[in-house]
Chain A
Amino acid sequence: MEKFETHEYDVIIIGAGGAGLRAAIEASNKGCSTAIVCKSLLGKAHTVMAEGGVAAAMGNMEGEDNWKTHFCDTIRGGKFMNNWRMAELHAKEAPDRIRELEQWGAVFDRTPEGKINQRPFGGHTHKRLCHVGDRTGLELIRTLQDKGVHSGIDVYMECTVSQLLKDGEKVSGALAYWRETGRFVVFKAKAIIICTGGLGRAYKITSNSWECTGDGIGLAYEAGAELLDAEFVQFHPTGMVWPPGVQGILVTEAVRGEGGILRNSEGFRIMEKYDPERMELSTRDVVAKAIYHEVKGGRGSEHGGMYLDISHRPAEYIKKKLPSMYMQFMELADVDITKGPMEVGPTTHYTMGGIRVEPETAATRVPGLYAGGEAAAGMHGANRLGGNSLSDLLVFGRRAGLSAAEHAQGLSAAPTVDAGQIEDAANSALEPFNSKEGDDPYAIHRDLQDNMQDYVGIMRSEDDLKKGIDGLEQIKQRLKTVRTDGSRPFNPGWHLALELRAMVVISEAIARGALQRKESRGAHTRLDYPETDAETYGKINSIAAKSGKDMDVSTAPLPQMPDELKKLLEDK
């Protein structure tokens, strides 16, 4: 067995997006030796792409906004599938997390009175999204990154975790490898927090960056954690559809927040038909399905989407409030959005499902293992409201950091890492180099993406889902002998071969969760079960967990909220 470096910390965070950085700041602040391990350079995590804003009931624009309204909006948007306690904590704590960011140097857009400006967004009753033009994620990540590097946190960047290590039931560390050299690193830790983000790259059309391959969800699953509600995958209504190379790239909801109008090829304002009350500011599930129906009905735009038009707003205003959208369309699609409409269509955007955690502590069922951010589940139910992810990262990133620190400090001795386990993990990671006959990872990935897009996409049916599951079985078989050419240093093919392992796990959880849920709710739409079934499926979460070598898919009762919260929802 080759030599490898070993590092030991109280708390290790996998992932340097908003959730990971916020978790690390908290753990370090509590006096724990803390490290972040991330597979890209620091500051490049997917969070950097977030555009529209971060939701918090600060009430800066409309004084009457408060946590109760934010809570109700979140639960309604999530079609009552949310973990009520998470939604409550999120609504209550988000404003403090925003103020804290400002104190760490974030510079949000201002109101005329000099307060943080807030913009309207789909499903939010009040103007609620704190923002910086349309580059809110960049502001969030830079602020946290800067706070983090001055808090004594060690950062291992371009270092990819391939497996978690365990000491009996407890988590004890992780095996990773440096992308630059391909050499292994062992991390020993008393607690590990998974903040690895989403899984959009399992689909062909997605707004997600290359990192979003569901790694952490796969790692947690393999280590014994449960996955919750994987079937709820958000298809954002407005991705770019043309030219082909940019298909899926996000067109921020802020375009609609700032007054953008959706029209079909006949010039009809489509939301008048699908949600006349909220119009373009309806929730994402509704708008995505509206576009789907219009296109299916033969009223699509030139390249099979809808027209989204903001050009009635003054050009200067558009350039100021949506600068990166202006640039994105000008440079990538030759469209001047101050003069004419954009073409948009649904794109895989966000996973509401993910690792099952305790609402207050972010703990998984594996002792010492925590999860936060997009990789964790429960907060958003069947459909996430725009802006609620960035606030989720801050609220539950902090909570995860706090409880991991407490856990680490409560252990009398560090768990041990087992040499045999490390060796097995290393051998497993190197398998693709030993394969001579197998398929190339890129070919397998393309087939996986087609399979998910075609059979486990925005509109689902039993027949399709079964085809999708069969397709996944074949992909699993091919993955066993996946072949990597070349050598270990900075080898993207090898990287992809390992990422495919996680993508296959989450894809199976999505497909089988979707098959089990015989109803339509939020982002999950069954053509064969178009109604929402409050009696049966409204009361259950779906669970996926590893049992032996296979995935076991089952259900668990949805936790019921206390009466005072129920009353809030009834009152409004």
Chain B
Amino acid sequence: MAEATFRVFRGDKNGGEEVEYTVPVTEGMVVLDVIHHIQGYTDPDLACRWNCKAAKCGSCSAEVNGKPSLMCKTRLDHLPLDRPVTVHPLKAFPVIKDLATDVSWNFEVNKKIKPFTPKPDTDWVMYQPDVERAQEFRKCIECFLCQNVCHVLREHDKHDNFIGPRFLVRVASLEMHPLDNGNRLEYLKDEAGIALCNITKCCTEACPEEIHITDNSIIPLKERVVDEYYDPLMRLLRKFFGKK
């Protein structure tokens, strides 16, 4: 049977190192299968997160050969197996142990976003073309791969000033809900730090759900912020014609 070599990061917040494992390769195998094989036959205490094994829960994010990926969706036959494959935890978050990182910051950010606020007296009639914009953003499985690749968080560590692409998508899903009446523009400008995004689109490329993070959520949100705070004519018009 064919074999492949993996170098998996083992360690915790105090540091660690790559440990080499050789595993048998079967048809259609994914990187998460490799991790399970290591747990099941070699090192039962190798830590990693996973739930669905079907790219639906966003738990198994890691960096495979340096590329942020869902391990359950990364096929071995798409990797060069003539040399060792590296598997590391996400870089933008502190390591807990091995492949598990501390992503709790994301949950704190989410709490601060103003929840869905329905228009008063709505009859709840919505049409498919109108809900589709919000639905695109609601596909997010919170894998945090976009947060991991965004240089504002990854290189500049601006976790206190910037909510990251995932939560800009979240805000967009609320702002573009046809019946939402909440106003999140001040939040976007100040706390969320939307101006820190300089539209590099790395987040969009990383998204396993193929959400057009930059084009469909961040740019329209930026435009709304600009309209609200920096464009006197638009502000005047809106005064006469209502919010959205």
Give chain A's interface residues, CB within 8 Å of chain B. Answer: 40-46, 48-49, 99, 102-105, 107-110, 112-115, 117, 132-133, 135, 138-139, 142, 146-147, 149-150, 155, 157, 180, 209-211, 242-246, 249-250, 324, 327-328, 331-334, 440-442, 446, 484-487, 489-494, 496
Instruction: Assess whether B50 is in contact with A138, with CB atoms less than 8 Å apart.
Output: no
Closest to B50 in A: A210
Q: Mind listing 26 A-B residue pairs with CB under 8 Å?
A: A40-B51, A40-B59, A46-B52, A49-B54, A104-B116, A105-B115, A105-B116, A107-B131, A108-B131, A109-B131, A138-B56, A138-B139, A142-B138, A146-B110, A146-B115, A149-B111, A209-B51, A209-B52, A246-B28, A249-B53, A324-B56, A331-B75, A332-B30, A442-B39, A491-B44, A496-B44
Number of chain B interface residues as a range: 35 or more
Instruction: Assess whether B27 is in contact with A244, with CB atoms less than 8 Å apart.
Output: yes
In B9-53, the 8 Å CB interface with A consists of 12, 26-30, 33, 39-41, 43-53
Instruction: Assess whether B44 is in contact with A441, with CB atoms less than 8 Å apart.
Output: yes
Instruction: Assess whether B142 is in contact with A43, with CB atoms less than 8 Å apart.
Output: yes
Residues of B within 8 A of A246 (CB): 28, 53-54
For the complex, is B98 an interface residue (Cβ under 8 Å from A)?
A: yes
B41, B47, B55, B58: most-surrounded residue (chain A CB, <10 A): B47
For the complex, is B96 an interface residue (Cβ under 8 Å from A)?
A: yes
Instruction: Assess whether B73 is in contact with A489, with CB atoms less than 8 Å apart.
Output: no
From A46, A114, A331, A490, give the contact of B55 (CB < 8 A): A331
From B29, B47, B110, B139, give the contact of A135 (CB < 8 A): B139
Residues of A within 8 A of B53 (CB): 209, 246, 249
Instruction: Assess whether B45 is in contact with A492, with CB atoms less than 8 Å apart.
Output: yes
Residues of B within 8 A of A332 (CB): 28, 30, 54, 73, 75
Closest to B58 in A: A44
Q: Considering the complex of A and B, which 8 residue pairs feature the smallest CB-CB distances, nearest first? A: A243-B28, A493-B44, A486-B45, A105-B116, A114-B125, A490-B47, A490-B97, A442-B40
Question: Measured between alpha carbons, how far is A246 from B131 in the docked complex, in Å?
Answer: 33
From B50, B56, B96, B126, give the contact of A49 (CB < 8 A): B56
Closest to B33 in A: A245
In B109-149, the 8 Å CB interface with A consists of 110-111, 115-116, 118, 124-128, 131, 134-135, 138-139, 141-142
Instruction: Assess whether B40 is in contact with A446, with CB atoms less than 8 Å apart.
Output: yes
Instruction: Assess whether A490 is in contact with B115, with CB atoms less than 8 Å apart.
Output: no
Question: Measured between alpha carbons, how far is A31 from B127 in the docked complex, in Å?
Answer: 36
Instruction: Assess whether B141 is in contact with A138, with CB atoms less than 8 Å apart.
Output: yes
For the complex, is B177 an interface residue (Cβ under 8 Å from A)?
A: yes
Question: Measured between alpha carbons, how far is A40 from B180 in the docked complex, in Å?
Answer: 30
What are the interface flags for B159-194 relative to A under an 8 Å C-beta threshold, 1 for contact and 0 otherwise?
000000000000000100100100000000000000
Give chain B's interface residues, CB within 8 Å of chain A. Answer: 12, 26-30, 33, 39-41, 43-59, 73, 75, 96-98, 100, 102-103, 107, 110-111, 115-116, 118, 124-128, 131, 134-135, 138-139, 141-142, 174, 177, 180
In the complex, how many angstroms separate the beta carbon of A107 from the nearest chain B beta carbon? 5
Residues of A within 8 A of B107 (CB): 41-42, 149, 155, 157
Tell me whether A110 and B28 are in contact in the complex, defined as CB-CB below 8 angstroms, given that A48-B52, A446-B40 are known contacts: no
In the complex, how many angstroms separate the beta carbon of A108 from the nearest chain B beta carbon? 8
Residues of B within 8 A of A243 (CB): 26-29
Tell me whether A147 and B115 are in contact in the complex, defined as CB-CB below 8 angstroms, given that A44-B51, A135-B56, A490-B98 are known contacts: yes
Instruction: Assess whether B96 is in contact with A103, with CB atoms less than 8 Å apart.
Output: no
Residues of A within 8 A of B98 (CB): 490
From A49, A114, A244, give the contact of B127 (CB < 8 A): A114
Tell me whether A489 and B30 are in contact in the complex, defined as CB-CB below 8 angstroms, given that A107-B138, A138-B139 are known contacts: no
Residues of B within 8 A of A133 (CB): 135
Residues of A within 8 A of B58 (CB): 44
Instruction: Assess whether A139 is in contact with B40, with CB atoms less than 8 Å apart.
Output: no
Tell me whether A146 and B116 are in contact in the complex, defined as CB-CB below 8 angstroms, given that A245-B29, A328-B55 are known contacts: yes
From A43, A209, A489, give the contact of B96 (CB < 8 A): A489
| Sample of 12 further A-B pairs with CB below 8 A, known A48-B56, A105-B174 | A40-B59, A41-B59, A42-B107, A112-B127, A132-B135, A138-B138, A149-B107, A246-B54, A324-B56, A332-B54, A442-B40, A492-B45
Closest to A40 in B: B51
Residues of B within 8 A of A99 (CB): 124
In the complex, how many angstroms separate the beta carbon of B93 from the nearest chain A beta carbon? 12
From B30, B51, B73, B177, give the contact of A48 (CB < 8 A): B51
Instruction: Assess whether A180 is in contact with B55, with CB atoms less than 8 Å apart.
Output: no
Residues of B within 8 A of A48 (CB): 51-52, 56-57, 141
In the complex, how many angstroms separate the beta carbon of A104 from the nearest chain B beta carbon? 7
Residues of B within 8 A of A324 (CB): 55-56
